[in-house]
Structure 1
Amino acid sequence: MEMLRARAILLTALVGLALGCSESGPHRFKVTGKATFDGNVIPVGEIRFRPDTEKGGSGPGSVAKIQDGAFTMGLGLVPGPHLATIYGFDGVAFEDVSEGQPLFRPYTTSVDVPDEDIVIDINVPGRMK
């Protein structure tokens, strides 16, 4: 009987730990990709995804750093239509600006995130200064 009680306590503790470690909020999918400007890798930058509410998107957005053209959304993204805004810099530090000079004005484009992990490659068109 004591062994049965010990097993029940252990099982209850394990279930409690599993529930306590579960993700909260909507399910997100892994998003990675490449960001280029006029076909060239963006040395340093940032990409911000936010749900496109005008097309029915909802939920949290996410932000990632661009390094040598590559980015990975740390928390992932919820599925649906999003707006992606890209900020790119030349990576040549000066004074107190570690990112360098902007390569272009912030660029926004539409992206649909499916119900699965995805690779998204975004090219910012040239002549945007």
Structure 2
Amino acid sequence: MNWKSDFYSQSAQYALLVTILLAPVGCSQSNGLERYSVSGEVRYDGKPAPLGEIMFLPDRDAANPGPGSIVEYRDGKFNLQDKGVIGGAYRLRITGYDGIPVRMESGVDPGGRQIFPPYEMTYEFPKEDTTLVIDIPQRKSR
């Protein structure tokens, strides 16, 4: 399984949730909600995380009517511009991979191996463009 299919298989319930959440609102700017860009960095173990994705899901429990978005990051950097957030509470789900291609039966997975389990957090976005640094905590050894 490659890094993207691994991400989506682990988050099938979230993909369904995003679909349900996006359906009534739509994905375009024409829905009357002003969207703001979000850029920043994902760090793991104090260093930029090599590769992964961030899902931005509006927090319905906090009455956020906004659309959701997904952005890929590389070398820790991401930039969510045209499909940004509307402000308010969001749930973020972050995945991370080492970026070292892995040979598999079905070919080569360019994303590599997972370096941390999917990490979830909430964030209250202002109604303006935002720079966000996400520090993924290291898992404690058992």
TM-score (norm 1): 0.78
Q: Does 1:92 align with 2:100?
A: yes
Aligned length in residues: 108
Corresponding residue for residue 122 of structure 1: 134
Displacement, 1:117? 0.5
Q: Equivalents in 2 of 1:68, 1:55: separation in Å?
A: 32
2:120 pairs with one of 108, 117, 126: 108
1:71 pairs with one of 60, 78, 99: 78
Q: Equivalents in 1 of 2:140, 2:72: separation in Å?
A: 21
Displacement, 1:38? 2.2
Q: Equivalents in 2 of 1:57, 1:106: separation in Å?
A: 23
1:1-129 to 2 correspondences below 5 Å: 23-25=29-31, 26-74=33-81, 75-95=83-103, 96-127=108-139
Does the 8 Å CA contact 1:48/1:62 hold for their aligned counterparts?
Answer: yes
**One-letter amino acid of the counterpart of residue 117, structure 1:** D
Q: Equivalents in 2 of 1:59, 1:102: separation in Å?
A: 30
The higher radius of gyration belongs to 1
Deviation digits for residues 35-54 of structure 1 (CA, Å, limit 9, x no counterpart): 01121111011111000111
Displacement, 1:128? 6.5
Structure 2: tracts of 5 or more residues without a match: 1-28
Corresponding residue for residue 6 of structure 1: none
Once superposed, which parts of structure 1, at least 4 consecutive aligned residues long, lie more than 6 Å away? none
Does the 8 Å CA contact 1:44/1:89 hold for their aligned counterparts?
Answer: yes
Q: Equivalents in 1 of 2:114, 2:140: separation in Å?
A: 10
Structure (1/2) with the larger strand percentage:
2
